[in-house]
Each structure stands twice: as structure tokens, then as C-alpha cells.
Structure 1
Amino acid sequence: MTNQMVYRSPAIALPPSAGAPDASPVSMQSVLLFLRMRWVTILSTIGVFFGLAFFYVVLAVPTYSTSSLLLLARQTSGTDAQALEVQASFIEGQLEIANSNDVLAAVVSRPEIASGPDFEQATPSVFARLRGVIASSSDPVAEQPTVTPSEEEVRINQLIESLRGQVTMRQVGQSAVIEIAASSVDPRSAVDIANAIATEYIARNIAMKSSGARTYSEWLGRLVTEQQRELVTSANALSQFRSEGDPRDQFKLIELQSVADARKTLYENTLTRYTEAKQQITYPVSDATVVSKAGLPLTKAHPRRGLILAFSLMVGLLVGLMLALARHATDRRVMRPERLAIEAGLPFVAPLTSLKSRMGGRKTPISLFAKEQQGSSSGLNLARDISELGASLSVIRRLKHSPVIGVVGTEPNVGASTTVFGLAREWSDMGIRVLLIDASTDATLSQFLAPDAKFGISNVLENARLFDAAMVRLTPTLAFLPIGTGSVATPASRISSQRTDLSLKDLKDKFDAIFVDLPASSISADARSIASSLDGLVVVARYRQTSVDKILETVRRLRDAGGDVLGGVVNFSNAPSSSSPV
């Protein structure tokens, strides 16, 4: 941790709430701080996604996938570009035929397919039902069917929809090969489905070609008969002209000979095509050839455990970072002292490390600065923070004689008593005569610094002659005045009334500096009532607990009451801060 406070020269005047964003670039320290603060959110999100993925791969029914390959006959015509377009259209049409209801109905009608584990209780999938709802809602004027389908038709349609969810068909690259892939919970069933679709598709293709050839041959038969009659007519006309016509009319003879020859050639060509069509009826050839039959799959195709778990970790990390960033952006707790200094318009904001030393279940300000604690690394950090805080406040000593500085927390348990004791201890170690006054209603300092004291500040304000009896000398340069007893009004309210037997001005003649521990501003108005009587105030907040809005409200109220807010302290802080002026 960098134990340097954010400091701004007091000569620089800022508005009370300058909500300008921090334009400094993101540093590695900021990234590490973000991860240290939000690692629970990130890891929890990753854990949730990984847990869901783990349960899915454990509970999901494994499926096996296999495929058969078919080679389609190339359809070439015209230029290369035209041939490619024709081939692509042909393949697309064949894929639609393979996925048609006729082919799939023939597949599910096979006993080995219909009795498979995927079709025992076949019902339309959620996606199939959704497609049906969308299709019906897209055509609101569509009439309801007048014919009610039979139970067998409904069962076949359900089997077809279920089969479509298990089968995928595609063209392999830019080749003339199509792939028919089938998946099933049973590997043998996947093989049967893929091969059955290929077989039924080829059978459907042959039947279509046979039916087309039969229709074509019937038409050619009628055309052959008609052309044969026309050929006989033209031959008779030529023979009659030769026997009865004018032999000198050679043009007529040539014309009749040409017509007879043309009709003979046309007849012969039509007869050839008629013969070929007859052959295609008896022995039709399919446009597709099975290149590779589906083989028995040896490994599960779904779920892919490694891929799903890795993907869940990646998605969990991304979502966790997004959630953490959202929380970080909307979190108004104190986390960045330099941002607080800008928003509150404070000359400085000091991050202060505090040790979690306890005595009797309560925090003990004295033990935090004990020699054995100062020898530890945390103790050294605390001592360095207090030293830097004291150096920042030393500016007021040069501006005012024997300054009276109040230390107020935004709320209870933010470490205000520890901070004021540390400041008093730091200045007294430099040879400055310091008086520490406990004016806090919780009397934390009094309980641990002078638990047996009979008199205190409350008594001294009533009778100034009790000052020497009430004062506790902690060190030659550090004196402590506990809160005392016997008064209903708080010490701060008594001092602000200026109707006391002893005033702060009287104490300035005896000490070089006076620190006052004030009650938290959220539970008492003492800090505001005494603000104008003090030379300065230090506002104490707690890292990742106190709201920035609460600090801004506290600073505004103190300034409205006539107080001079010298700066702020972020206690229990481990946030990195910049040493450059803000």
C-alpha cells in the first residue's frame, strides 16, 4: 500500500461539491484495487455459471451422432458461372427433397426407426410448438382446416417433427457431396436413421425420375404416332408427284423430297428418345450415389463436457466482471481518497491505516500506538500515516496561534478517537505542548486514557480551578482532559454558549495546540454547534463503509455552521493514493 495522502494547497479554492470525474488514466494499482474489492462478486458469478454447466453436463442425456455422404450428379450447362449456379440450385433442391415430409414419413414408418428410443413417446419439441404458434399468428386470416386429421396422421406428423430435430443436412463445402447427419441417444439408432434417410431419399429420387420418364414416354408415344402419320403422308405425296406430276417441275419435286426427308429425320430422333424413355422407366438411375454409409459412433457427440465447462468459465468471468464493474461504478462508499477530495472540495484527504487491536471487546486507541505495535509492519504504516496527516495540519500552526482543531466522525465507529489521539501523540512527540480534550458522548478516550478520573472538561467548564485536578499528564508534552461528569449539557454545547468559567482562549495560553474529540455528526449536532469556535475541523470517514454523500453532507453542514474544514481522513484504508496534487 502507498501511504501517501492526497494533498492540495489551501490556496486553491474549490466549490463545495465539484462532481468532476477523475480524468487520470487507469493504473495497475487501480486495477488491483478493483480486483481486491470485487473478487467475491467475480468468483461467485463464475461459480454460479460453472455450477449450472456442471449440473447440465451431469444431468443431460448423452447423444451420439453419425452421418452418411451422398454424391450428386453434376448438372453442367452453359458457361462455368452458369454451371455453378445451376449446380448450386440443383443441390439446394435435392436437400429440400431429402428433408421433405414424404422422405421423412417413409423413414419413420420403418419398424426399426419407429420403435427406437427417440420415438417411443414422440411429442413435438418446444421449438416445434413455437414455430407452429408463430406460423399461425403470422396469418390471422387463415381459415381453420375443415378436415380433422386422423390419429395415425397426427402420430406420423409428431414423429416427423421429432426426426427433424435429430437430423441436419448440408452441402459439404462447394462440392457436389451432401451430408446427412443424425443424432440419437442410442448409437445404433443414429446409424439406422442416417442410412434410412439416404436410402429413402435415393428411392424417392428414383421414383420421381421413373414417374417423369413414364409421363415423358407417354407423351413421346403420342408424338411418334403423329409424326409417323405425317411421315406417311409426305411419302405418299412424293410418290404421287413422281408418278402423276409434271417431270419438268423440279422445284416441286425438291420441295416434296425435302419435306419427306425432314419428317423422316424428326421421326427417327423422336423414336430414339422414346426408346430411351422406355429404358429409364424399366431401369431408372438416381442423381445421388452413396459415398459413405453412416458408421457406428464410438464417442458421445453431446454434451461436450470440456467445451461446455470452459465456455461457462469464460462467460462467468465476463458476466462477473460486468457485474463487478456495475457495482463499482454505482458504489458511493469511500474507496478513492483523491475522488473524495475533488467532490468535497477538501484541501487534503489522508488514507489512514488502523490496526485491529482490541481490549475487552472495544478498540483501544492507546494500544494502537504502543511500542510493540509500532514495531510491526502495520504499526509502521499507521505511524507513517499519522505523521503525514500531522504534517498536513501543521500549516494551520503557522497561520494561527495555538490552533484548536476538532476531529469529528461522519458516523460512529469510524476511528475518530484513534485519529485524534494519534495526531495529539504525533505533535507532542515533536515537542509541541498539546492538550487532548474528550468531548465525545461515547467517552472512548476517557475510558482508556483516564478510567479513574473524577473530573473532566464538563467540570472544568463549571469551575476553572478544577483544571489542574482534572488534567491527566500522559507525557511531558501531552495532556489529556477527560469528559468528566455532572453536567446534562454536552461539553461542545457548553463551549458554544460562551457562558463557561473556562474558555478555549484561556487554554490557548497554556498549550501550543488543542485537539478536541467530537461526537459523530450523524448522532449529534455538537460539531456544528462548536464549529465556529474552533480554528479548524477534520472529518473522519471509514473506508468502504461511509457513503460519499454522507461525507459531502457533513462537510456542507459544518461549513454552513461557520466551520473551517481543513481536510478529511479515510480510516481503515488500504486504497492506493496519488502523491501528486489533485
Structure 2
Amino acid sequence: MMLERPGRVPQYAESALSSEGTLFELSAILDFFQRNASVIAVCALAFAFLGFGVAATTPPKFSSTARILIDSKRVQVASQQAQPASDPATAGSAAESQVELIASNSVILSAIRKLDLVHDPEFVRPPSSLLNKIKGGISDGIASVSRLILPSAPPGEPDVERDIMESIAGNLFVRRVGITFVIEITYSAFTPAKAAQVVNAIAEAYITDELESKYAATKRASIWLQDRINELREQSSTADRLVQDYKSQHNIVDTNRGSMIEQQISELNSQLILARTQTAEAKARLDRIVQVLSSDVPDATVTDALRSEVVSKLRGQLLELRRREAEWSRRYGAQQQAVVSLREEIGQVQKSLRDELQRISETFKSDFDIAKARQDSLEKSMSDLVQNNGEVRQAQIRLRELESAAQVYHNLYETFLQRYTEASQQQTFPIPEARLITPGLPPQRKSSPMTTLYMAMAGVLGGLLGVGVGLVRMMRDHSFHTPAELESATNLGCLSSVPLVHKAPAYRQVPNAEHQSGKIVAFKAGILRHAFDDPFSSFAESIRAIKVNLDMERVPGKCMVVGVVSSIPGEGKTMVASNLAQIVGQSGHRCLLIDCDLRRPALSHALTRHAKQGLLEALAGQPVRDLLHVGGWSRYAFLPCANSARLGSTDNVVSSPSMKLLLENLQDAFDVIILDLPPLIPVVDSRAIAPLVDKFLVVVEWGQTDRTILSEALGLLSDKAQGKIAGTVLNKVDVRAAKRYSTAYAKYYHSAYHSHYVRGA
């Protein structure tokens, strides 16, 4: 059973609920899948069988794989030399470009023409699956209609080639193996041999296309290089002629060591340096000899510097005579004749020495003049050459420009001539950049269709469709399935969840000896007394939960008037009111059940089918005791609505002063008065009697009552019964179906706990 649920979450539980929000969201997701498990399973199984059917009707295909190795060193005709693809990004781009080239239409078309696939039945009329046949039939029908409207020529061989090319492209898969230069080619065909044949043909077509493209590129490069070489040869010859003409115009003669003027300047500079040295030496000797002439006897250093034997000899004689003259003068006296003779001889030697020095001085002076004259001549020649060299240098600047241009043209000519030679060799001996390392072999087993994969994918798709259907059902379902949903939508406490009784037995009448009038209640169906007859059922416990909540609302010693209402007919308010009256009476309280549904007194027809008098007679003043019916199994009384005549203003009846007086008089005799009121939406009686009611019970049918209708009904009731709504009752709860909405709510509260107490009993 469902025990009492409070209308609001206690404050001490709010923090726990907020901290476990993620858990509740996950639980809601699990509840959604559990609730729609059957729909999801049916859709998944249906699609899985559909996938099996598609796989069974699809012709098998066989895949063959070949591998090609691409040379990482790309030969480039116009570059200086072959450059290895060392940059990973560049290498990867080059490899991916080859992948696209293999899958290109030109390579596929070459393979088609090589194998003559235009006349191959497998490609002209390939087998197709059931789905493809259906699609083909639809396409053919559309095409037929189009041809009727716009006639066109029948397809020729080019169209067949195009169709085959598109078919091969659709079954061809080319990829690069990792980061290597290996390209993997996979082709799927309807026969193993054809798969291997086509994949090898595509690989060979790619290699052939590479050779042909290289040959064509080399040939184009050779032609272009040849034209460029002729142009450069003419430009180089023209530049050489300009250089020679310029040299002739400016009298520029080049030697191995530079220009002639520069060589002359260099030689003349050497001579000038030597002449200046010789002039300086001659001047030094001249100055020295002049100094010597001013003295009587030159010293030995000067004598040695002059290197004259005559001067040396005379100087020796002079020194010897002076020694003898000094010795003789000391010995014989200064006036002695011999000494005088020595003095005369000394004078002659000095004169001879001075004459010799004078002669040498004249010679030195002549040498100095000659050296000076030679130096002046060389300086003048140097000045003239330097002046001429400035003009030559200006001409050489332009000459060097012409020579540089000529050298550039010559280098370009040599480079292009070398490239032309290499291109001619490559054109003669083309080297392939790719080679087949793993040829395609006929496969041993089919590659498609994979039945398990088809079924799995179809099952997943069906499951997703089931989830979508579940979401649509959830969005379209505006009813209530759990007390939490009901409380959240109404802000009212759900007092109880009354389970659905699928089949209640019909009970016979039981005499009640305590009934003084002899009137007893006869049940049309056992559902109206099920809580009394099966007291250990979850149904009975849910009715008791309502009774407990009302007990907490009731003031001790004072009668409580409870109105049981619903939004629309058929929600089970009459059943709840009848069973609630029995449970209240069984608990020892004096309980009166009144059928106030004057428009449709279903409760009266079920409990007192043959009653002729009831509520209307009581309002007219007839004694109530004579109109009551009691149940022989429970202490409660029932006041039916026996008059079957249709009344036009029932709201005036239930809100009349007579009704108010009747209820006031009955409150002295009963502890609880339960009113079975008509629905709120179609009839206004429940709103009219609201001022006379202490508490209202709003019955909501599980899985049926629309949220909008309930909201409107509560709005109508709240206007007249502000604060009088005790809560809601979720009625006719299908416990098994409720598991799909809340496992804990359906399983533990209604199944596990109730079974535990039943076994305990």
C-alpha cells in the first residue's frame, strides 16, 4: 500500500534532495527507459529482423586489397637536385595527394578500359538487393515519366562507362597506412576473382599513369628548357660582345694581374721609392763631406764611410807626420830645422787631403743632383699615370657591370644546359615513383553484408526510434503516474494511492440484527466494499491512509463533513467515498455516507437499488432516521438519493438552507459525514455546497486525468473552498504499470512491503 505522503517536503530533507539531484535525474532516466522498455524492445526487434532481411536479400561482396609503396624522394625536373621529403607535414600532404590520385576518375577509367568492363555482365547488369530493386523500380518509374514528358536519346557507351566508373568509385576505398608511404587499395566486388582483378588493374593503372605523367612532364620540361637555352645562349653572346666592344672603345687591356695602367703604376711606384731612397743617401753623403771639409783632419769613421784609399793614405801620413813633429819638437825644440821641415811637409799633406775631399764632395754633389732629377722625373710620371687611372677606373665600373651580366647569362646557360641533359636522360629512362608491393588476391570469405552488424545497427536504430516514440508518448501524456508528480502539479499533498482492483467478487447480502428498521445495503458490485472484505490488501491500506489523514484534520468531539469530488466522471470518487465510509465505520466512528450527486446518483443505484426515498425527502422535512440504510458488516449509515426525477437546479438544492439545516442536525448524531459529490467540471453542485463542507478530497485517476483539467477543477473549487482541500487521492493505480514510472513507488510500497505484512499475518 501507499502510506500517507505529506503535501510538502520537510525542511530537513530539502538539503538531501538538492545534494542528490544528479541521482534523481539518473533515476528519472532509468524510469523512462523502464517505462518504455516494451516499446523500445519491440522497435529494436522489429528493426533487427528488418536488418536481417536486408542482409539476407543483399548479394554478398568480396573485398581484395593491394598495397603500393610511394618513393619518398620526389624527382623534380626544374629543381637543382632531388629533395627528400623530410618535412612530415609536406610528406603527409604528398602521400594524401597520391591517395586522391589513385581514387581519381582518370585512373578508374584506365582500369575500366584495360579490363573491358563495359562488356562485363557483372558491371553492366550487377545483382542488387531487395531495397535496391525497390529503389531502382521507383527511379525507373520516375525516369519513364520524365522521358514521356521530355524525350531524350538512349544512353550510349560513354554513359555506361560513367555508370561503371561511379559503381567502382563507390566500392573503392583508398587510404594511407599510418604515417608511412604505403597506400592501401581495397575494392569490393560480387566475385572474389573480379575483386582481385579490378584492384590490381587500378594499382597498375596508377603506376602507368605516374610514368606517363612523368614522361609528359619531362617532355614538356625538355621543350621549355630547349627554348630557354637558345634564348640564354643568345643573351650570353650579346653580353660578351658588349664587354669586348666597351674595352675597345676605352682602350682597356686586361692582363693576368689586372689592367696595364695599374701594372705601370705599381712598377713606377717601386722605382719612385728606390729613387727617393737613393736621393736621400746621396744627400746624406753630401752633407757629411761638407762637414768634413770644415775640419782639419777627418776622423776615422768618416774615412771609413768615404771608402777612399787616397784619403785613408793621406790621413795616415798626416797623423804620422804630426806624431813625429810633436816628438821632435819635444826632443829638439820647436825651431829646429828638421821640425820646421816636418811642419812644411804636414802642410802639403793637409792640402792634398783637402783637395781630395773637395773632389769627392763634387762627386757626391753630382750624384745627388742626378738622383734628385731622377726622383722628380718619376714623380711627374706617377702623377700623370694616376690622373689617367681615374678615367680608366670610371670606365672599369661600367665594364664590371657588363662582365657581371655576361657572367650571369653564362651561368644560367650552363645550369639550364645541365638540366636539359638530365631531363633528356629521364625522358629516355623514366623511373617510376611507385611500385606494387602487395598484389590483390581473391578473398576467401565475403566482406559484406555482415548480418550481425546489420542486425545490430538496425536494432540500435530501432531502439532509438523506440526512444523517440517514448518521448512523444511522454510529451503527449499529461496525466499523473506518481504521487510526486501529483504533488508537484497541485501543491497539495497526495493522501494516498489507491491501487486498481482488476476484478472484485460479487458479495451476497448479510443480515444485520442491529438494524432496527430492517433496511440493509445491497451491493451491486464488490468493489464498493472491497476494503472491508479484504482488509489485508493494499487497497484497504490505501483507504486507511485517507482515513488517518482525515483524523489528523478532525477536531475531537466535533463532526467533520468531508466532500469527495473529482474533475470529471469516471475517476472513481464514488468507490473511494463508499470504501472510506466503511473503513471509518469499522474503526468505531459513527459515519454517514450521503449520495449528493443528484444528477447521476450512481452510488444509490449500486447500494440501494430499490429505495424510493432519500435525500430529497429528508430536505423536505421527513425524519432522516426512516430514510437511512445501514451496512450489516460495518457501523455506517447511508442516505441515498432515491428520487430518479431529473431536477433542473440541483445546485440550489444542495446549497439550500434546508441542506444546511439537515447537515447541522446530522452532526449531532455522527462523527464523520461523507458526501459523494458530482464532478467539478461538468456540474456546479460541488462548488455550490462548498460552504457547508469542512474538507474536500479530490480524486484523480492514475494515467487518465489530464493536468489541465485537474488544474481547472482545482481553480474552480479553490474559489469557493479556500483552505478546505485536505489533499488529493491518486486512484486506480495500476501497480504493474506503475513500475515503469517509479520502481521504488510501485515495487517497494505496493508489492514488497504489503507482501511482507500479508505473510506476517
Task: Give the 5 Å matches for 1:29-428.
Answer: 30=28, 33-75=31-73, 82-120=86-124, 151-214=156-219, 280-325=426-471, 327-328=473-474, 331-358=477-504, 364-371=526-533, 373-375=534-536, 379=537, 381-398=538-555, 401-428=558-585
Q: 2:673 aligns with which of 514, 523, 528?
A: 514
Aligned with 1:181: secondary structure?
A: strand
Aligned with 2:123: secondary structure?
A: coil
CA contact under 8 A between 1:459 and 1:487: conserved in structure 2? Answer: no
Q: CA, structure 1 residues 473+352, in 2 after alignment: closer, same or farther (shift >3 Å)?
A: closer
Separation in structure 1 between the aligned mates of residue 91 and residue 9 of structure 2, nearest angstrom = 83
CA RMSD of aligned residues (A): 4.4
Which runs of no fewer than 5 residues in structure 2 stay unpaired?
A: 12-19, 75-80, 127-131, 133-152, 241-253, 259-410, 507-522, 739-744, 750-761
Separation in structure 1 between the aligned mates of residue 231 and residue 650 of structure 2, nearest angstrom = 129
Aligned with 2:175: secondary structure?
A: strand
Q: 2:530 is matched by which residue type in structure 1?
A: L
Separation in structure 2 between the aligned mates of residue 29 and residue 90 of structure 1, nearest angstrom = 53
Tell me the TM-score normalised to structure 2 length. 0.59
Residues 483-492 or 501-510, more deviating? 483-492
Q: Residue 726 of structure 2 corresponds to which residue in structure 1?
A: 566
Residues 319-328 or 564-573, more deviating? 319-328
> Displacement, 1:524?
2.5
Aligned with 2:24: secondary structure?
A: coil
Deviation track 1:108-164 (CA, whole Å, cap 9, x = no partner) reads: 113453333453059xxx9xxxxxxxxxxxxxxxxxxxxx9x944444334333332
Separation in structure 1 between the aligned mates of residue 494 and residue 705 of structure 2, nearest angstrom = 17
Aligned with 1:179: secondary structure?
A: strand
Aligned with 1:552: secondary structure?
A: helix
Residues 35-44 or 530-539, more deviating? 35-44
Q: Residue 623 of structure 2 corresponds to which residue in structure 1?
A: 465
Separation in structure 2 between the aligned mates of residue 106 and residue 437 of structure 1, nearest angstrom = 96
Q: 2:693 aligns with which of 507, 511, 534?
A: 534
Separation in structure 2 between the aligned mates of residue 485 and residue 310 of structure 1, nearest angstrom = 67
Aligned with 2:431: secondary structure?
A: coil
Aligned with 2:186: secondary structure?
A: strand
CA contact under 8 A between 1:351 and 1:570: conserved in structure 2? Answer: yes
Q: Residue 454 of structure 1 corresponds to which residue in structure 2?
A: 612
Separation in structure 2 between the aligned mates of residue 4 and residue 435 of structure 1, nearest angstrom = 25
Normalized per residue, which structure has more helix?
2
Which runs of no fewer than 5 residues in structure 1 stay unpaired?
A: 13-21, 127-147, 235-247, 253-264
> Displacement, 1:546?
0.5
> Displacement, 1:551?
1.6
Residues 491-500 or 181-190, more deviating? 491-500
Q: 1:179 is matched by which residue type in structure 2?
A: E
Q: CA, structure 1 residues 87+195, in 2 after alignment: closer, same or farther (shift >3 Å)?
A: same
> Displacement, 1:276?
6.6
Say which one has the larger Rg. Answer: 2
Would you say 1:496 and 2:655 are equivalent positions? yes
> Displacement, 1:177?
1.0
Q: 1:431 aligns with which of 561, 572, 588?
A: 588
> Displacement, 1:512?
1.2
Deviation track 1:245-282 (CA, whole Å, cap 9, x = no partner) reads: xxx96669xxxxxxxxxxxx999999998777666545
Q: 2:57 is matched by which residue type in structure 1?
A: L
> Displacement, 1:308?
2.8
CA contact under 8 A between 1:425 and 1:478: conserved in structure 2? Answer: yes
> Displacement, 1:463?
3.9
Aligned with 1:572: secondary structure?
A: strand
Separation in structure 1 between the aligned mates of residue 94 and residue 8 of structure 2, nearest angstrom = 82
> Displacement, 1:481?
1.8
CA contact under 8 A between 1:3 and 1:385: conserved in structure 2? Answer: yes
Q: 2:610 is matched by which residue type in structure 1?
A: D
Q: CA, structure 1 residues 567+61, in 2 after alignment: closer, same or farther (shift >3 Å)?
A: same
Separation in structure 2 between the aligned mates of residue 471 and residue 491 of structure 1, nearest angstrom = 23
Aligned with 2:605: secondary structure?
A: helix
Separation in structure 1 between the aligned mates of residue 64 and residue 163 of structure 2, nearest angstrom = 23
> Displacement, 1:467?
3.3
Separation in structure 1 between the aligned mates of residue 419 and residue 8 of structure 2, nearest angstrom = 105
Q: Residue 546 of structure 1 corresponds to which residue in structure 2?
A: 705
> Displacement, 1:70?
0.9
CA contact under 8 A between 2:229 and 2:417: conserved in structure 1? Answer: yes
Quote the sequence identity (%).
26
CA contact under 8 A between 2:73 and 2:85: conserved in structure 1? Answer: no
CA contact under 8 A between 1:6 and 1:338: conserved in structure 2? Answer: no
CA contact under 8 A between 1:356 and 1:363: conserved in structure 2? Answer: no
Separation in structure 2 between the aligned mates of residue 162 and residue 67 of structure 1, nearest angstrom = 17
Aligned with 1:374: secondary structure?
A: coil
Q: Residue 129 of structure 1 corresponds to which residue in structure 2?
A: none
